[in-house]
Amino acid sequence: MRAVVQRAKQSSVYVHDEAVGSIEQGVVVFAGVGQDDTEKDCSYLAEKIAGLRVFEDAEGKMNRSLLDIQGEVLCISQFTLYGDARKGRRPSFIQAAEPERATELYNLLCENLREKGIRVATGVFQAEMRVVVDNDGPVTILLDSKKQF
């Protein structure tokens, strides 16, 4: 499972120009599910996202986590994180999980975050979405449950 995590002052997601999810201070997580991902990958990423120290303390150092600041998560499913563009010009998405399994694991990731006491807003799985991110910093972190990067 892969995630792009962006620290945000506020963010929203729209489907057909209608807001379907929004957060105040926290992180936007673009999450992709791979073919070989399991419940353990969801647990790993939820733990990592909740504890990732990307928020500044009183001395201006990134020492505080989402849990420390009681921040929120806007979680957006994004199969394109498994796009492989090493060959040719059109990415291949064969490493991405099938939609049924991806939906299940994406929802589990969101539930795992909620179980940690984090408010989680979401987009709509498989919908065309417009995501507005007020990236704070900017701070953007890449995560991979298989630790490929």
How many Cα atoms occupy the beta-carbon half-sphere of 86 within 13 Å?
2
Residue 125 known to be catalytic: no
pLDDT at 148: 87
Neighbours of 53 (CB within 10 A): 14
Which of 78, 103, 125, 140 does the annotation list as catalytic? 78
- For residue range 117-143, list pLDDT tens digits in order: 999 999 999 999 999 999 999 999 999
What integer pLDDT is reported at residue 80 of this predicted model? 97
- Homologous superfamily (CATH) for 2-144: D-tyrosyl-tRNA(Tyr) deacylase (3.50.80.10)
Instruction: Write the pLDDT tens digit of every residue in 24-68.
Output: 999 999 999 999 999 999 999 999 999 999 999 999 999 999 999
Q: Is the dihedral of CA 130, 137, 84, 39 positive or negative?
A: negative
For 5: left if phi > 0, alpha if psi spans -120 to 50, otherwise beta; the answer is beta
Active site residue 30: no
Is 80 in the active site? yes
Q: Is pLDDT at 82 greater than 90 in this prediction? A: yes
pTM: predicted TM-score of the whole model, two decimal places:
0.96
Domain ranges of the chain: 2-144
Identified catalytic residue from 80, 93, 122, 125: 80
Instruction: For residues 72-85, give the mean pLDDT.
Output: 97
As beta bridge partners, residue 71 has none
Select which of 55, 79, 95, 103 is catalytic. Answer: 79
Closest to 141 in 3D by CA, of 52, 34, 32: 52
- State residue 119's pLDDT score: 98
